[in-house]
Homo-oligomer: A and B are copies of this chain.
């Protein structure tokens, strides 16, 4: 078993409180004799003393831990977000405890319960689903709390998310600007917030340009590769298929590309597309992929900022931050003349 304060106390002949005071080193808070200081430090070193964080946390009722729940840590969006947030919190001496909800509301709920029981000082949740009732309960605990990625308007809580609506809009407007009129969309799970926003952005962009919305051009199911594959095939089977398609994110792109290849079509000669999310390999495909990139780093920094603010001023007004994604033009969209 590792050394405790009392072991140092016994070894040096001082009391536990003196040892504790020396080791915590509030500069000038308590006057300690020079020699005492030195001897205790030496003894601590010799014994390889490490404070027991559990005992300390229990005593202080503070953990300097921020809990975080993400739908799927293996997705780059979230793992990168976690990394950024962890890195910045470190500067303020906060650690992060991450739970993977595995895209499952029940698991998410358990994760939150556990984090709360662990008495984390703050909580960041990237909600899995459409439901927000279980999140409402959190707001009643008064714990500094933040949602990310998906934002529930009715939920009275700080949040930082990407402007999915506008991201989709600028994507589709780019397509329109290149002369496309027949524009399809393949998107993810209906009812989830980012997805809905993107679809709405798609529709509004069309409407604003005076383009009628064609039901057949709107396909959806999930953000998975396989869905992208199936829906793209379906899209291409249409008797009057679109000349351009907007992929609403995730791995749809990957599946759709496969479908396009199977049909022996060339991008962007036969079909143009643009995707939400900018994958690392976007520049390496042939052609390179025109995309709407989410400002993940910015989102992480903002989250840390909001969290620290909420901890410092529990009664500050609720802030819902909407970050702007960025259009990155590459070669997957043809200019129609």
Contact = CB atoms under 8 A, between A and B. Distances in A.
A37 interface: no
Contact of A52 (B2, B76, B117, B141): B117
How often does this chain occur in the complex, in copies?
Answer: 2
B63 A73 contact: no
A69 to B, nearest CB: 12
A83 B58 CA distance: 29
Contacts of A57: 54
A113 interface: yes
Contacts of A79: 73-76, 78-79
| Interface bracket on A | 35 or more
A53 B114 CA distance: 8
B72 A83 contact: yes
Interface in A19-55: 50-55
22 contacts: A2-B116, A50-B113, A50-B116, A50-B117, A52-B119, A73-B79, A73-B86, A74-B79, A74-B80, A74-B83, A76-B76, A76-B79, A78-B79, A79-B79, A83-B100, A83-B102, A97-B97, A225-B280, A254-B280, A254-B281, A261-B286, A281-B284
Interface of A: 2, 50-55, 57-58, 63, 72-76, 78-80, 82-83, 86-87, 95, 97-100, 102, 113-114, 116-119, 141, 225, 251, 254, 257-258, 261, 279-281, 283-286
